[in-house]
Structure 1
Amino acid sequence: MQKTVIIIAGPTASGKTALSVQIAQLFNTAVISADSRQCYREISIGTAKPSPEELSAVPHYFINSHSIREEVNAGIYEKLALQYTSEIFEKNDVAIMCGGTGLYIRAFVEGIDDMPAIAPGIRTHLNEQFARHGLSWLQEQLQERDPGFYATAETQNPQRLIRALEVLDATGQSITTFRNATRAQRDFRVIKIGINLPKEQLHHNIHYRVDQMIQAGLVEEVRSVLPYREHNALRTVGYQEIFSFLDGYISLDQAIDDIKTHTRQYAKRQLTWFRKDPAFQWFDPRDTAAIITYVKQQAQ
């Protein structure tokens, strides 16, 4: 049998983790997380890591593997995920990849371009400007200085905008000049499964999950990582809103409402990203029988 990676992707709170564990058990194999935040040991509640039961059911890679003090990006992930894959392939013909970070999945499947090194001062300055002037400042800067990239950029994602401005400041060139269209050749087959729920059900899951995170101690978790608040991993939904609450700008109720709203918006962006890839076969995650039948057929 040809070595195969089964990728399970989709929006947050759609049921990827439970499905990936089920498929991994079917093939007696391991799961590689493709989530840009679950690798950090210090943040567990707000990242919706697999439960202890799920982690013990099958081996997992890229969960609690790094400290928040370490820089992890798509380029690093590509190399790590390829190492994990070859390790799994020593004992098994199939590996499972599960997650919602589209850029990480693309880096693993297609490769990612080497980006120029950025002096730390440039990033610090841009982060300070973002903290002072907000998202609209980043958008205006990029629209003015790199309209070509801005036209296709995720304009609501501050990390992506800061990254593009960093490259401009460091090299004087658009980030697009460092992206070439040569896809890496992989010596294994990839099967892509996309899962999604009806909108009302997905939104219900998101709201329920946020309430569970608050009950599980999200505020205390965010307080514990305050010294690292400038880190990219914490410039994300669930952490930024609680920082605003801890800073006294908004009430806890407002922070919770904002997390729910921003998570719904994030789920929509994830869907847009994955739907652009025609290789994904889409399923309702509750229809596990159909998913398993499809996977078995494809993996033969």
Structure 2
Amino acid sequence: MMPSFALNVVPGYIMTKYVLSIIGPTAIGKTALSIKVAQHFKTEILSADSRQFFKEMAIGTAVPSPEELSKVKHHFIHHKSIHDSYNVGAFEKDAINRLEDLFKTQNIVVMVGGSGLYVDAITKGLDDFPNVDPKIRTRLNRELETKGLEPLQDQLKALDLNAYHTIAIANPHRVIRALEVCIGTNRPYSSYLNKLKDNRPFKTITIGLTADREIIYDRINRRVDTMIEAGLLDEVKTLLPHRHLNALNTVGYKELFRYFEGQWPLEFAISEIKKNSRRFAKRQLTWFRKDPDILWFEHSTSTEHIIQSLQAAIPFKNGAS
């Protein structure tokens, strides 16, 4: 049974706990906003960005700078190695436990991240999937590396047509996850979806940052250039011996692996990072726009206005009734 995080502040009154979730596409400005919101509410930040979990990956995942990390305490950044087995289910358990601890002294916690599944795991709970043999995922990842994504998509279409039409079919992680469940359980992946989930003992207010497509794409292109200037090639080169690991099958790394392997010229690899990052941003927005409760703001909206909107929805300041 999920523990209660409520804190009695006066007899007969239970203080509601809040997670302020800040979401949006990559490079939109979530990190900067989350730090200012956390400073205003005098609280801490929980990261739900699955690419920032791994300590060997910093430049290519746009981890907050040391200066940014020093302003507000962050959780779930660089807490794992690429050699560790870690998935959204494990993150859900770890993050809920961490929230339980934080809510002993805080009424508000800020969460930030662009990984929709990981955000939903905290705010809504996950569908309950059975454990499957990890060798299945290893085999599917090998097939992805040697044959590409299309044969895996065709296999999923044959095993679970509903999942084929509903998941992010262009995302290899999602395709492999659905396939491993189909193969490991002999049941469609979609048959496990939308079951009764745990009720969360806190309220969530979700702020979404957005912009016109041209602005988002320009910000992404400039961020990739900045990453290259900051030393992304050196970071990826050190990870080349481990390129088969699932954590490294991600935008910004897989393209440069192909450069180092002599398959692509550098200029083309960088252009592919930009293209795949733009596609990722499009998938992020598609995911988040399914949620009618998100309060959307243009990325250029003043922080003061966003904080005022949040404060108006919360009947207290952090730590006070």
With structure 1 as the length reference, what TM-score do the two structures score? 0.97
| Alignment equivalent of 1:269, drawn from 275, 283, 286 | 283
The residue that corresponds to 2:294 in the other structure is 280
AA matched with 1:134:
G
The residue that corresponds to 1:240 in the other structure is 254
1:70 and 1:194 map into 2 onto residues whose CA distance is 31
The residue that corresponds to 1:258 in the other structure is 272
Unaligned runs of 5+ in 1: none
Deviations 1:147-204 (A, max 9, x none): 1211112110111111111112212111122234213111111101111122222112
1:14 and 1:177 map into 2 onto residues whose CA distance is 35
The residue that corresponds to 1:200 in the other structure is 214
1:92 and 1:236 map into 2 onto residues whose CA distance is 35
| Alignment equivalent of 2:70, drawn from 56, 60, 82 | 56
* Superposed displacement of residue 116, structure 1: 2.4
Contact 1:19–1:285 (CA under 8 A) maintained in structure 2: no
Question: CA RMSD, aligned part only?
Answer: 1.2
Contact 2:141–2:246 (CA under 8 A) maintained in structure 1: no
AA matched with 2:115:
T
Contact 2:127–2:197 (CA under 8 A) maintained in structure 1: no
Contact 1:75–1:114 (CA under 8 A) maintained in structure 2: no
2:263 and 2:18 map into 1 onto residues whose CA distance is 49
* Superposed displacement of residue 113, structure 1: 2.9
Q: Give the 3-state SS of the residue equivalent to 1:139 in structure 2.
A: helix
The residue that corresponds to 2:312 in the other structure is 297
2:138 and 2:99 map into 1 onto residues whose CA distance is 35
AA matched with 2:219:
N
1:131 and 1:214 map into 2 onto residues whose CA distance is 25
Q: Is 1:156–2:170 an aligned residue pair? A: yes
Contact 2:18–2:205 (CA under 8 A) maintained in structure 1: yes
Name whichever of 178-187 and 85-94 sits farther off.
178-187
Q: Percent identity?
A: 46
AA matched with 2:199:
Q
Deviations 1:245-266 (A, max 9, x none): 1111111100100000110110
2:49 and 2:181 map into 1 onto residues whose CA distance is 24
1:179 and 1:155 map into 2 onto residues whose CA distance is 16
AA matched with 2:70:
S
1:121 and 1:2 map into 2 onto residues whose CA distance is 43
Q: Give the 3-state SS of the residue equivalent to 2:60 in structure 1.
A: coil
Unaligned runs of 5+ in 2: 1-14, 316-321
Q: Give the 3-state SS of the residue equivalent to 2:123 in structure 1.
A: helix
Q: Give the 3-state SS of the residue equivalent to 1:97 in structure 2.
A: strand
The residue that corresponds to 2:8 in the other structure is none
**Residues 121 and 187 (structure 1), Cα distance of their counterparts in 2 relative to 1, 3 Å cut:** closer
The residue that corresponds to 2:200 in the other structure is 186
AA matched with 1:146:
D
Contact 1:42–1:68 (CA under 8 A) maintained in structure 2: yes
With structure 2 as the length reference, what TM-score do the two structures score? 0.90
Contact 1:122–1:170 (CA under 8 A) maintained in structure 2: yes
